[in-house]
């Protein structure tokens, strides 16, 4: 049995019928995340074909495959969204493979190199290794690894949580092609569909089901 979608769950959807492919949403997303400690890349991607264009991002699934695939708890699901603990990411890319929307990305950043050992520390290490060539080689590889340090971080839509004004992409879209879907929106959509169904039922009930027979009488 599938879990019900939490009442507070939110996500962004795009309306291809009004999207003009301007990429303003991507620029706004990048600017929102261009901050110290964050990763300055857009969390949604514009997909274009010959007939339509629409940005695609995380749907914050109730049963998120990316969360199930993550071995470290980096990705988590709460009542509002699918979030990220970036410090727990090991760059395994299981989440990238699991996401059905292609909305999860692993970004690898270069980190500042660690400081080189002082002459005293280097001399002490050399003395300890003596003439052991394998030990010297291991130290050299370790120093090279420190000089080329990197960090992998999972990147996906976070709904601009904690930011005033809500998701930057929806706020910046010039044609209102992006919408923040929440419990209120879903309820309004359900009510609209029920009314449409009721009107259709009323119209159907007023039809002559055997019009051809009635005409022959």
pLDDT digits (tens, 9 = 90+) for 69-103: 999 999 999 988 999 999 999 999 999 999 999 99
- Residue, of 29 and 166, whose pLDDT is higher: 29
Q: Where a domain ends, among 125, 148, 171?
A: 148
Pairing of strands 53-56, 45-48: antiparallel
Q: Where a domain ends, among 124, 148, 172?
A: 148
* Least confident piece of the model among 5-19, 40-54, 167-181: 5-19
**For the segment 200-216, what is each residue's pLDDT rounded down to a tens digit?**
887 766 666 565 555 55
Q: Across residues 154-182, what is the average pLDDT?
A: 92
**pLDDT value at residue 134:** 57
What global pTM score does this model have?
Answer: 0.70
* 2 — pLDDT class (breaks 50, 70, 90): very low
166 shares a domain with 118:
no
Q: Which helix (H) or strand (E) holds 22?
A: none
Q: Where are the alpha helices (DSSP H) in 88-156?
A: 94-98, 119-129, 133-147
**For the segment 91-141, what is each residue's pLDDT rounded down to a tens digit?**
999 999 999 999 999 999 887 777 776 777 767 766 666 555 555 555 655
Q: Where a domain ends, among 148, 168, 203?
A: 148
Burial environment of residue 202 by CB neighbours within 10 A (0 to 12, 13 to 18, 19 or more): exposed
195 inside domain = no
**pLDDT value at residue 154:** 95
196 inside domain = no
Q: Percentage of residues in the chain with pLDDT exceeding 90?
A: 50
The residue segments making up the domain with residue 133 are 113-148
* 176 — pLDDT class (breaks 50, 70, 90): very high
> Which of helix, strand or coil describes residue 151?
strand
């Amino acid at each position: 049995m599938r879990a019900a979608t939490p009442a507070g769950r939110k996500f962004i959807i795009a309306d291809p019928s009004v999207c003009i492919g301007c990429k303003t949403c991507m620029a706004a997303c990048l600017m929102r995340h261009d901050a110290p400690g964050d990763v300055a890349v857009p969390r949604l991607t514009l997909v274009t074909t010959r007939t339509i264009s629409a940005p695609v991002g995380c749907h914050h699934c109730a049963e998120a495959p990316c969360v199930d695939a993550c071995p470290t708890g980096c990705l988590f699901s709460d009542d509002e969204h699918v979030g990220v603990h970036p410090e727990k990411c090991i760059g395994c890319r299981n989440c990238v493979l699991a996401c059905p929307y292609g909305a999860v990305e692993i970004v690898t950043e270069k980190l500042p190199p660690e400081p080189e050992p002082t002459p005293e520390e280097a001399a002490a290490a050399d003395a300890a290794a003596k003439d052991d060539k394998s030990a010297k080689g291991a130290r050299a590889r370790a120093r090279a690894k420190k000089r080329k340090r990197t960090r992998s971080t999972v990147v996906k839509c976070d709904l601009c949580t904690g930011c005033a004004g809500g998701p930057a992409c929806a706020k910046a879209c010039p044609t209102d092609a992006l919408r923040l879907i929440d419990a209120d929106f879903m309820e309004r959509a359900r009510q609209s569909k029920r009314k449409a169904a009721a009107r259709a039922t009323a119209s159907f009930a007023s039809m002559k089901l055997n019009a051809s027979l009635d005409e022959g009488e």
